[in-house]
Structure 1
């Protein structure tokens, strides 16, 4: 009992100090705590079909490999089929490639239509697709691109695929970022049309939106038996970080997690038995607070208004 309490206190302290907790230091320490959950058993995903978006780079590729190693048939949802072919060749198990640009809602609808026609029942979706445009960029539908790729596309794709997900105790994981802790829900300017555009701010605002939509999406998809999670990978060394945040990458590089460490909790959420409780933010196999000391926590009315904007933008019924 005392050991468990001490482990919990150390884990929480790592969260609050941020740098150790989000870096590879936090991951290494937590893995050695007695509270660390067991790894998924070998072969635990044999016969399962798991969709991974953004599977051709960084955390997406690492997630695809980890799921494949556990026996899953991995469905690679990508913009570039040639890059996906290289990933598919290196997987240990079967895979299928679907071409889709998560930032283009028409592409999302076309992909969903193809998957509804030809894909088998789906057991999980891991939304890894991400981008940090250097300047304000609009999607084909006129939405700020970070918000479209990280929020609108994933919500629409998942909602359209409900017929493939329902009845399987399915799991949906949205991969977020620690930057979201510094941003409030952009309910009054979701498309970042006001003020000076900052790429990292736009990225973090969209990631905050993922987190704050959790209660809404949990209720919306409950009838299909889906558990929804947002997963914070910590600070991981990926091509996206190197390209978009070169100063951060240079300063923090020595303590950044590798892609496998960053992807670990996504894979664990998909494979863990029994299924972890949905509706929360997870990092290092444990549910975490969505804000520190209540900072940037929205009201229920702000969440409702944000969801109404998402539903309107995607054409879904609120």
Structure 2
């Protein structure tokens, strides 16, 4: 009951207070739960991505840090290997907003067990990629969708594969905009674009769960709560300034990602702090079936994959 109340009130549930309220009742994965597994984490140069990679390495996984900035990637690799001596950590370059970059990266990966979609952007103004897609949509939706589909056969070859989308609690404020996925209408706001595309990620989870069910690939969605990361500090300085005292550490934000990768919860669901959460809390954000169909058709066409 306290957990649900804290979740619905947002501030206590998403802050470090919520994490610490719930933490005492958890059973952690076995220390070697991911021994021999290979995990790919996007946006792993800092923040929740780096913390996720660290948590996976601590459970025995070989980790691939997917970054746009090689310098940041190497710095993250050094910190992880210092904390986990003997860990196998690679740095690979890929810009998730660039579908050609995604294709090149996917061709380099020979095997994997876990794929974590964490890379994120929050631009101040509307920016289009070279292919003409809105940057946030391309980074959060098209790139991850294409990467997952390109790696489908390699994931299916793993003994217990899973995919995790790191969404955001901000998605609760937005409905699925299948009518304007590229945010061409109205006054562009970076935070709104971010929340819209995080809603889209949540919509993708059951769609991909069904798509990959025959391959045994489990797809999960989650949100990390409010964590004190370089991305939050740089993109939302006002929010960061007001809430800093209550923000989680990146490791606390990443906890559920690592838990989803290392345990066996039911796929196709949305999680926060190791518990399934509703995908809607406002009556105005529910998806119509025809909007989900239109969204899926647009995304598969834009990403160049078969629907």
Q: Name the TM-score class by shorter chain.
A: over 0.9
The answer to whether the 8 Å contact 1:213/1:303 transfers is no
1:154 and 2:148 aligned? no
Cα RMSD of the aligned pairs, angstroms, is 1.1
Could you tell me the TM-score, scaled by structure 1's length?
Answer: 0.92
The answer to whether the 8 Å contact 2:112/2:155 transfers is yes
Q: SS of 2:65's equivalent? A: strand
Q: For residues 8 and 71 of structure 2, what CA distance do their matches in structure 1 show? A: 42
Unaligned stretches of 5+ in structure 2? none
Q: SS of 1:11's equivalent? A: helix
Q: For residues 163 and 118 of structure 2, what CA distance do their matches in structure 1 show? A: 11
- Quote how far apart the aligned CAs of 1:293 are: 4.6
Match of 1:30 in 2: 22
Match of 1:122 in 2: 112
1:193 to 174, 181, 184: 184
Deviates more, 1:203-212 or 1:78-87: 78-87
Unaligned stretches of 5+ in structure 1? 1-8
Match of 2:224 in 1: 233
The answer to whether the 8 Å contact 1:112/1:157 transfers is yes
- Quote how far apart the aligned CAs of 1:106 are: 0.8
Q: Deviations over 1:131-167 (max 9, x none)?
A: 1011101112111111110111011001101121004
Q: SS of 2:271's equivalent? A: strand
Aligned residue runs from structure 1 range 65-144, under 5 A:
65-91=54-80, 92=84, 93-115=87-109, 119=110, 121-144=111-134
Match of 2:161 in 1: 170
The answer to whether the 8 Å contact 2:167/2:221 transfers is yes
Q: For residues 211 and 285 of structure 1, what CA distance do their matches in structure 2 show? A: 16
Match of 1:306 in 2: 295
Q: For residues 295 and 18 of structure 1, what CA distance do their matches in structure 2 show? A: 18
Aligned residue runs from structure 1 range 56-67, under 5 A:
56-67=45-56
Equivalent residue pairs, number: 301
Q: For residues 293 and 113 of structure 1, what CA distance do their matches in structure 2 show? A: 41
1:10 to 2, 5, 13: 2
Q: SS of 1:289's equivalent? A: coil
